[in-house]
Amino acid sequence: MKNSISAVVLFFAITIAAQTAHAQKVVIDQPMAPPNWAVLERELIRANSAACEEFFKRYFDERGYLMCVERWGGDDGPDDAIENLLHWPLFHALGGPDRVLEMYKKAWEGHLRQYTEAKTVEVPFARDGMYYREFPCMFDWLHNAEGLVVFSMQGLSDPNDEFYRKRVRRFAGFYLNDDPQAPNYDPKHKIIRSMFNGSRGPLLRKATGLDWAGDPIEVEHRFSLGHGERNYSEMVAHFKDYNDIIGDHPQNLLSTSLAFNAFATTHEKRYRDWILEYCGAWRDRMIKNGNIIPSNIGLDGKPGSAAGGKWYGGVYGWSFTVEVPQTGAMANRNTTGLGLKGLMNAFLMTGDRSYINPWREQIKVVNSNAKVVDGKKMYPAMYGDDGWYAYSASPYTQGAREIFYCTLEEADRKHVEGDAWLNYLRGRNANFPETSMRADFASVRKHVAEMKADKTTPDTRLADDPMQLNPCSVQSLGELMMGALYPGRQGLVLHARLRYFDADKRRAGIPDGVAALIDKMTQDATSVTLVNTDQLHDKTVIIQGGGYGEHQILSAETGGKTLAVNGSTFKVKLAAGCGAKLNLKMKRYTNTPTLLFPWDR
């Protein structure tokens, strides 16, 4: 082996060897009986895979179409249909079998055809197809993100797929004004011009309840609606105040994930430039607004100018409190917190904390307006004409976990002290790996049982009905294996400390039989234990710093020996039935993010 290092004989027989600078290797041949966590991890991967197979057979036909009544709307619509496969591509990228990726791709192709063919009768902008150019014709990013959450993770496993590469460029282009039919972005004022936007451009009028609720439909005795409406009239009434959509809203920052994936796939600078321009404009608005993100930016670029001059106005804004039609109760529906995910894209791209620092300050500002009620400190969550309101005993913590994950500074730990995973990483919750995986086992079991008991038929099933039965339960695997933030329903980009690739099969994900456990993460170090539970076959794992290679791995230490890595990846050769802990020195957010596999760089 070129530039090899002589094997170091240790009591526990671990050797480290180096190949070329492109392929440094750690060789682990210390026998290790699989710990409980490793056995659970491998079995949880197997259980998820088998359950996904059953789910797909039940709810998707031979074309990849979801067997349901197709509708447009915020109650139930195209986004819900493909969201039934939430986290499937991420599961494959963790190490799930190729069959999971095959099922997702069949469903994605079927979904695009199904909802291009599906048309509205009364909702004006979807009469020629709910999807146009394989993208939502125009809707808000609370829902657009839910409909794109699986596609956005496809690149982690499948970045060279021809259709993926074309779509990721086309989708991002709808916001870079590449398409004259979709003038969503105003480069002069650095705004997306409406909350409703997509492949047919922005909706530049007030929205109606019909726009949000979709065409009339029979409800009673046929469907069970997610918001609890009992008839179509209540569906429209749910959205009767969802009118002020003109101008920009923090939700639209989620669209930067399209450009992030386009950049990570193509490495064209213009995608990066647009992300930083658009996120930078929002950052500056926050600072000028006293470190509170405005919830409406008018077409003139001024906060609140499309919402009666109120920076806190507009649909899903700081003052968006509406009536629940079936009960008469008032509900606070402020979704400005979604904007942080977009700002984090700029941070992931650059490592520049100026994009997220205003959010750190926002948490402080909101909580500084606490008041004492009956001897108890109460904190606001909403802001209206009379100032702060919607007080509760819980401090405002929107985005606090994400901020701490990015900075890992003690000053940002205040609002995440009770987080079980983060406490485990501090050595304070030793049972967390088994506890969290057992919770995901329970989730798989519950969803499969409910799926078997489901009595809906395709003509009595809405697109969002199977969502609650989707058995793919991977939060524990993401946290334990990759040190990753759980992406949730609008997470379009993966924030992870490590990723794994199977060097022998040349695919994303940890090799079959191998388990990984990260038990420590600091600003400059990561500890991960790798175990080959396969007692017959050696495995070769490529470890990558970050979901997109954004973290530099400086060195890897095990058994008292250290290998200089100085790159975003290195190899680990795991002998059959062997394992060890690796202590990695790292420099975070220093490399250009990429979706290219290690062997393609």
Q: Please give the Cα distance from 22 to 335 (Å, whole number).
A: 44
pLDDT tens figures, 208-247: 999 999 999 999 999 988 888 899 999 999 999 999 999 9
Amino acid at 153: M
Q: What is the mean pLDDT of the chain?
A: 95
| Average pLDDT, integer, range 400-405 | 98
| Average pLDDT, integer, range 293-299 | 98
Per-residue pLDDT at 186 exceeds 60: yes
Planar angle of CA 448, 450, 456, nearest 5 degrees: 120
| Average pLDDT, integer, range 495-515 | 98
Per-residue pLDDT at 89 exceeds 70: yes
Q: Please give the Cα distance from 343 to 250 (Å, whole number).
A: 10
Per-residue pLDDT at 529 exceeds 90: yes
pLDDT tens figures, 21-54: 345 799 999 999 999 999 999 999 999 999 999 9
CB 554 within 8 A of CB 599: no
What phi and psi values does residue 312 have, to the nearest 5 degrees?
-100, 5
CB 568 within 8 A of CB 592: no
pLDDT value, residue 225: 86
Residue with tokens 């002290």, as numbered in its chain: 417
Domains of the chain: 14-30+512-600 (2.60.40.1180)
Contacts for 177 with CB less than 8 Å, ≥ 6 apart:
183, 184, 185, 187
pLDDT tens figures, 248-265: 999 999 999 999 999 999
CB 382 within 8 A of CB 318: yes
Q: Please give the Cα distance from 45 to 329 (Å, whole number).
A: 43
CB 151 within 8 A of CB 108: yes
* Nearest of 178, 195, 288 to residue 246 by alpha carbon: 195
Residue 562 β-bridge partners: 557
| Average pLDDT, integer, range 333-357 | 98
* Nearest of 575, 589, 586, 501 to residue 533 by alpha carbon: 575
| Average pLDDT, integer, range 322-329 | 92
pLDDT value, residue 227: 80
* Nearest of 336, 124, 108, 131 to residue 211 by alpha carbon: 124
Per DSSP (E only), the strands in 363-495 are 371-373, 376-378, 382-384, 387-389
pLDDT tens figures, 130-155: 999 999 999 999 999 999 999 999 99
* Nearest of 82, 76, 333 to residue 225 by alpha carbon: 76
Q: Please give the Cα distance from 466 to 249 (Å, whole number).
A: 30
Q: Which two tokens stand for residue 102?
A: 């095959």
Per-residue pLDDT at 8 exceeds 90: no
CB 399 within 8 A of CB 253: no
Per-residue pLDDT at 203 exceeds 50: yes
Q: Report the percentage of the chain scoring pLDDT > 70.
A: 96
Q: Please give the Cα distance from 552 to 286 (Å, whole number).
A: 31
pLDDT value, residue 19: 32
How far does Cα 411 stand from its chain's mean position?
A: 25
Q: Please give the Cα distance from 258 to 345 (Å, whole number).
A: 10
CB 145 within 8 A of CB 338: yes
Strands 14-17 and 25-28: antiparallel
pLDDT value, residue 23: 52
Find the distance separating the first CA and the last CA of the chain, reported in whole Å. Answer: 22
CB 297 within 8 A of CB 248: yes
CB 83 within 8 A of CB 150: yes
Per-residue pLDDT at 16 exceeds 70: no
Q: Please give the Cα distance from 461 to 56 (Å, whole number).
A: 15
pLDDT value, residue 224: 87
pLDDT tens figures, 425-481: 999 999 999 999 999 999 999 999 999 999 999 999 999 999 999 999 999 999 999
Per DSSP (E only), the strands in 23-74 are 25-28
Q: Which two tokens stand for residue 305?
A: 């100018």
